[in-house]
Amino acid sequence: MDDLKKGICCFCTVTTVIASAVLVFFSYSSLDAMEYGLDYSGITKTIDKQVYASGYHFLGFGHSFIRFPSTVQSMEFSTERTANRPPIQSRTEDGLQITFKATVQYQL
């Protein structure tokens, strides 16, 4: 009977250690050198207001990063097909075609 109790105790201990290791492993997340991140909880569907920089961070189980670039980004609207956005086209009240070209640069 003592061997059965020792076996059950050993099984419970090993299971607890493995489950704890898995939870701790999935609680860490990393950001690249050119990224910022906000902590998003997939369980409560909330976002923490603290901004994280690059590196490894302990967020907790069920949390992940919403990633943002830390460099200057450009959005270009033009008539050229090489732009990353299509041109904005419209018409006046008289029916004349208007094509709008613009470039916006931003950094979060």
Beta strand segments in 6-45, E: 28-31, 35-41
Q: For residues 23 and 95, is the Cβ–Cβ distance under 8 A?
A: no
Q: What pLDDT is attached to residue 92?
A: 83
What number of CA atoms fall less than 13 Å from residue 62's CA on the CB side? 7
* pLDDT tens string 60-105: 888 989 998 888 777 776 656 555 666 677 888 888 888 777 777 7
- Residue 85 DSSP symbol: B
pTM of the model: 0.56
